[in-house]
Structure 1
């Protein structure tokens, strides 16, 4: 395990809190303005802490500011044509940040070539500030969200059979093609994986593919939006090989169906996280060695 200093953890803790606080930012909420904008305060503190810890360099501030500006104009400007232009700019910059193609971010290495079990391939894990910022900004400014915990619970319960089918289908096919094998374990890295995966992976990917791409395409055809966002999600994972890309496409279609049925971004985020968590605990992770 690659240890990082306590100051280097601080920006990620603050960014994680910012993402977690976005439930207070629902625009129609009657909560005080400070609570609705707490995410932005925490993002500012995370950025300052990142600069002090050496996780961020000054050039990174420009990309964060640009993403905020593009996303705000894409969702708040009065003219449709202007909104379309800034939506495209937001997607391009968000994709570049998520792919770590924008300079200024020194994301710390947490795990390097760790074998979680005897039959697993080596696993490497980074804490990615750039991808976390993408998830935060898209979640707040683009995504349709549950209005309350009760709303989320009701939607989750209604989609439980779909989630169960998705879990069984993806993992069973993964086993059938030899990508994974059953391998129950309670790794000491489980808490680290869970926090990083939920806040810095699942939120960002679902906000991008479902909250922005699927939501925009659904204006023309809901079926097309489901298929395109699901397949694009799979294409984004082809770097892990055709098996990974195919399984990600199947999972992405499932997440897209859940979003289409509920119009609450928390549902596909939860499904994505649960699938990843079950994979981590009950099967060879990240794949069979």
Structure 2
């Protein structure tokens, strides 16, 4: 079913055939197993998978409905209304002299979304090209430089921060970019067509608003807004899911290790 190719220096796993009954239902059945470690949260995984498939296999109003339902499923499972979504902690938290805390933990909801997205990307891979890198580096640099000015520098690294950064990449960034880019921004692009820049601004605004409980200060909220706009811009200009994920992670990683956290 899969073949390994090289596209502009980047290894890409490409699927050789469209979704059929086997490629549709076997992954859905596999994702049902997530109910074992994650309980009720895991039940949403096959439903999100079927929503992602429906987005690719439908057109016009059915495609729009598929975007809406899939995004709604992701929001519901991550909202806290579904039981068994308490944080799973890997290591004791890191705390600095000012009492700011970094947790090496994750919520099952984001793990379920991330695992579903990764499985989907194996079936519908998104290449990462060398041409993506200059824009990615620029989008990473802007909020980090602004953060150094607005909230200050605080160099730090220990085992908790390293594990927190790994969790951030494998769970948080993949799950969030799966929602904001692959579902929300693509859905708005489909609806707005020639007005895609409006969708880009809308997604950046939604991204910022959903981080208000974490970004407690005006300075940090402004940095979240700048970063969110940058991620949306990467998608708008490059159209690569993994470029968005790695850009998102680059900002978060440097924030955790170089800047005051959360700020």
Q: Under TM normalisation by the shorter chain, which class is it?
A: 0.7 to 0.9
The question of 1:212 aligning with 2:183 is answered yes
d(CA) in 1 for partners of 2:29, 2:255: 35
d(CA) in 2 for partners of 1:164, 1:61: 35
Contact 1:144 1:264 in 2 (8 A): no
d(CA) in 1 for partners of 2:131, 2:182: 17
Contact 1:210 1:265 in 2 (8 A): yes
Could you tell me which residue of structure 1 aligns to residue 8 of structure 2? none
Tell me, which stretches of 5 or more residues in structure 1 are unaligned? 1-22, 51-55
Change (3 A) 1:170 1:61: closer
1:251 counterpart (223, 227, 247): 227
d(CA) in 1 for partners of 2:25, 2:200: 31
Contact 2:182 2:241 in 1 (8 A): yes
Could you tell me which residue of structure 1 aligns to residue 170 of structure 2? 199
Could you tell me which residue of structure 1 aligns to residue 116 of structure 2? 137
1:187 is displaced (CA, Å) by 1.4
The question of 1:224 aligning with 2:198 is answered yes
Q: Deviations over 1:154-201 (max 9, x none)?
A: 2333xx2x33333332123223333xx212222122331122100110
Change (3 A) 1:167 1:70: closer
What pairs up with 1:1-289 in 2 under 5 angstroms? 24=13, 26-28=14-16, 43=31, 46-48=34-36, 50=37, 56-57=38-39, 59-77=40-58, 80-110=60-90, 114-115=94-95, 117-119=96-98, 121-138=100-117, 141=120, 145-147=125-127, 152-157=128-133, 160=134, 162-178=135-151, 181-219=152-190, 220=192, 221-240=195-214, 241=216, 242-287=218-263
d(CA) in 1 for partners of 2:186, 2:98: 40
Q: Deviations over 1:227-270 (max 9, x none)?
A: 11122111111112233332111101111111111111110111
Contact 2:92 2:160 in 1 (8 A): no
Change (3 A) 1:280 1:104: closer
Question: Which one has the bigger strand percentage?
Answer: 2
d(CA) in 1 for partners of 2:165, 2:101: 18
Contact 2:32 2:46 in 1 (8 A): no
The DSSP-based 3-state class of the residue aligned with 2:213 is helix
1:138 is displaced (CA, Å) by 4.3
Could you tell me which residue of structure 2 aligns to residue 3 of structure 1? none
Give me the TM-score of the superposition, normalised by structure 1.
0.71
Cα RMSD after superposing both structures: 3.3
Count of aligned positions: 244
The DSSP-based 3-state class of the residue aligned with 2:85 is coil
1:84 is displaced (CA, Å) by 2.2
Q: Deviations over 1:115-154 (max 9, x none)?
A: 0x3246123342222112223434555897534xxxx242
Tell me, which stretches of 5 or more residues in structure 2 are unaligned? 1-11
1:284 is displaced (CA, Å) by 1.9
